[in-house]
Amino acid sequence: MKTAVITGTSRRLGAYLAEQLTQAGYRVIGLTRQQNPAQPFSQIELDYQRSDSVLEAAAQLKQQLGQLDLLVHNASLFEKDQQHQQDPAAFYQALFAVHMQLPALLNQQLLPLLQASGAGNIVHITDIYADNPNPAFALYCSTKAGLENLMKSAAKAYAPLVRVNSIQPGPIQFLPEHSSEEKQQVMQQTLIATEAGFEPILKGVRFLVDNPFVTGLSLKIDGGRALGK
């Protein structure tokens, strides 16, 4: 049985990926800030902001697993800079912790398990904003760009036993707080003007896992929004 570790599995994309991979026969372990007993996969609770908590979770995984086939860095914090004008430094540190420190530590700590698989894969879920930043989310975009660069460095360092790639999502599924005007503006900038849901990202993960000659790739799954109209 193949094993996958996914961060940020409490809701939305992370929960969807974990549930779908579980149904596909994977043993899935979710790393989450808050466990959900209703979810059909194992979970380890940790504090993304504390390096000691991340290292403790990695130690638990190394005790439980003999090998690891897939590591997906999905955990994310997506908020506008203006929401944190009172303490932008603390906000930036939080973004750095979840988007860069967490993946970097897990990559380093779990590398022996990925190598033991013989065909280990790491997938970084970044953002099309990593290449074309949105000024309203400047701090978010900069740390997602760091996650993108971390992917490229890891692809070089871990080849050939472990392949490392990224997926750059576009407007796959709006948040509840998105207004009708915001949704319309996004769709007007997207070549395939559809709210596609999470399935295209799952298909992207499967492509990266199934193709043994792909590493260091940034895969845009965005309906063409990165190109605009």
At the topology level, CATH places domain 3-221 in: Rossmann fold (3.40.50)
Domain ranges of the chain: 3-221
H or E element, residue 31: strand 27-32
Q: pLDDT by residue (tens digit) across 112-156?
A: 999 999 999 999 999 999 999 999 999 999 999 999 999 999 999
CA distance 146 to 44: 25
Residues linked to residue 169 through DSSP beta bridges, in sequence order: 221
Q: What is the pTM of this model?
A: 0.96
Statement: residue 162 has pLDDT above 70: yes
Q: Which residues contact 215 (CB under 8 A, 6 or more apart)?
A: 155, 159, 163, 164, 165
Statement: residue 32 has pLDDT above 90: yes
Statement: residue 78 has pLDDT above 80: yes
Report whether 27 contacts 4 (CB < 8 A). Answer: yes
Q: Is 39 left (phi over 0), alpha (psi -120 to 50) or beta?
A: beta
Order of strands, edge to edge, in the sheet holding 42-45? 42-45, 27-32, 3-7, 70-73, 120-125, 162-169, 218-221
Residues linked to residue 61 through DSSP beta bridges, in sequence order: none
